Amino acid sequence: MAEAEYLVAGLGNPGPEYENTPHNLGFLTVNLLAGRAQARLSRFECRALVGVAVLEGKRVLLAQPQTYMNLSGESVNGLAGKYGFAPERVVLVYDDLDLPWGTIRIRPDGSAGGHHGVEDVIRCLGTQTFPRVRMGIHPGHEVRDGAKFVLAQFKGGQKKELDSFIGQAADAVESIIAGGVDKAMAAHNRRAPGARKEEQ
């Protein structure tokens, strides 16, 4: 593979039963990015489905780890090592229950905020300094069982907003690739009323 400038990894769980759930928003965003670039996720490497896309004039390796969410770091770190991506060139896309539904937040670094997939990426990369696009999924009312909520099928109202939401996340990724994290944050981050807590 000719040298790619970024690795964009969308987190999720493999299998049709998880396809239309909040925990798979990372997968759905990577699918959209591949579609925009007329690319295919057709290879299996480092326990991930991968494909090369040209986004904003730059070659990007798109990836969907197939390890199941809580072991995502094995795949992401494997790809980063195989192709020589420094952590600041690894863009992680994932759902975040600490942000309101429909909110996009770009960060250059930070803790996992209780997200087990991100925890594993941090553990395997050995750093929390890598860009991420957080996709808020909190419904605005009490969630008694977070694990059950993130694996439940999208509700009617969410389905209506899903295409726009995923499109915003894909735009955010492309902004990072085009101009870097700081410019992307200025363009895409919005104050998130009702956010339960902010990443540290």
Q: Is there a domain that residue 194 lies in? A: no
User: 39 lies in a domain?
Assistant: yes
For residue 191, the model assigns a pLDDT of 56
Rounded to 5, what percent of the chain is helix, strand, coil?
A: 40, 25, 35
Look at residue 198 and tell me if it is in a domain. Answer: no
In a domain, 138, yes or no: yes
Q: Taking a C-beta distance cutoff of 8 angstroms, is the pair 63, 104 a contact?
A: no
Residue among 76, 16, 57 nearest 24 (CA): 16
Rounded distance between C-alpha atoms, residue 52 and residue 79, angstroms: 13
Locate 73 and state its tokens. Answer: 């770091």
Q: Which of 23, 115, 138, 188 is catalytic?
A: 23
The residues of the chain scoring below 70 in pLDDT are 1-2, 191-200
- 23 belongs to the catalytic site: yes
Residue 1 belongs to some domain of the structure: no
Lay out the sheet containing 104-107: strands in order across.
Answer: 43-45, 48-55, 58-65, 6-10, 90-100, 132-138, 104-107
Residue 196 lies in a domain: no
Residues 22, 35: Cα–Cα separation, whole Å = 20
CATH code for the domain of 97: 3.40.50.1470
Task: Identify whether 199 is part of a domain.
Answer: no
* pLDDT number for residue 2: 65
Q: Which domain holds residue 10?
A: 6-188
Domain count, the chain: 1
Cα angle value 13/166/103 (rounded, 5°):
100
* Parallel/antiparallel/unpaired status of strands 132-138 and 90-100: parallel
